[in-house]
C-alpha cells in the first residue's frame, strides 16, 4: 500500500482454486469496485514462478525531491534492469499542507543478486536521480537482533 500521485494504491496477490471462474471473479470485483467507489480495479493472472525465495534485503534506498510523474518508474526500472529485487517499498509526500511543491519520498529495501555490487546499483541510481532532479541516499540495512 502506498500513495501515488495523491491516490491510495494497493496491490493484492491472491491464490484461487484452479477451477475458479475468472469472468465471475472479475464481475464480483467490478461490483465491489462500484460499491466501494474505487477509481480503478484490475484483475490480472500471474504466471506461477515456483516457491518464493527467502528475501534477504541488504540496503535501504531513499530517493526524494519535488513530486512529479515518473519517479517510481524510473527508479524501479533502473533496479530491475540490474536484477535487484525490491523487498519493501513505501512512498509519501512530505512538507507543509498547501505547499506548492511537496517533497516526494520513496523508500525501498533492496536485495542484490550475488554478482551485483552496491556500487554498480548506486551508480545507476545516481544517473536516474540526476535526470529526475532528485536526491539519493543508499545505506546498508541494519538487521534487528531479537
Question: Could you tell me which residue, 104 or 3, shows the higher pLDDT?
Answer: 104
pLDDT tens for each residue of 3-40 = 676 777 777 777 788 888 888 988 988 898 888 888 88
pLDDT exceeds 60 at position 41: yes
Q: How many domains does the chain have?
A: 1
Beta-carbon contacts of 137 under 8 Å, excluding residues fewer than 6 positions away, are 60, 61, 62, 63
For residue 88, being part of any structural domain is answered with yes
Do 141 and 58 contact (CB within 8 A), yes or no?
yes
Q: Which residue has the cell 512538507?
A: 95
Decide which of 146 and 53 is more confident. 53
E-strand ranges in the chain read 2-4, 7-9, 59-66, 85-94, 103-111, 135-140
> What pLDDT is attached to residue 101?
75
pLDDT at 52: 56
Q: What percent of the chain has pLDDT over 70?
A: 86
Residue 67 located in a structural domain: yes
The CATH number for 82's domain is: 3.30.70.260
Range of the domain at 88: 59-140
For cell 504466471, name the residue.
47
Amino acid at each position: 500500500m502506498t500513495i501515488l500521485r495523491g491516490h491510495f494504491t494497493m496491490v493484492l496477490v491472491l491464490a484461487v482454486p484452479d477451477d475458479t471462474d475468472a469472468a465471475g471473479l472479475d464481475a464480483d470485483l467490478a461490483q465491489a469496485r462500484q460499491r466501494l467507489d474505487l477509481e480503478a480495479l484490475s484483475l490480472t493472472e500471474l504466471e506461477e514462478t515456483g516457491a518464493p525465495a527467502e528475501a534477504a534485503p541488504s540496503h535501504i534506498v531513499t530517493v526524494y525531491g519535488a513530486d512529479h510523474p515518473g519517479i517510481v518508474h524510473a527508479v524501479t526500472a533502473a533496479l530491475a534492469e540490474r536484477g535487484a529485487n525490491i523487498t519493501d517499498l513505501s512512498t509519501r509526500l512530505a512538507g507543509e499542507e498547501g505547499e506548492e511543491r511537496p517533497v516526494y519520498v520513496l523508500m525501498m529495501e533492496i536485495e542484490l543478486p550475488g554478482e551485483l555490487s552496491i556500487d554498480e546499483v548506486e551508480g545507476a541510481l545516481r544517473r536516474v536521480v540526476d535526470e529526475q532532479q532528485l536526491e539519493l541516499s543508499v545505506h546498508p540495512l541494519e538487521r534487528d537482533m531479537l
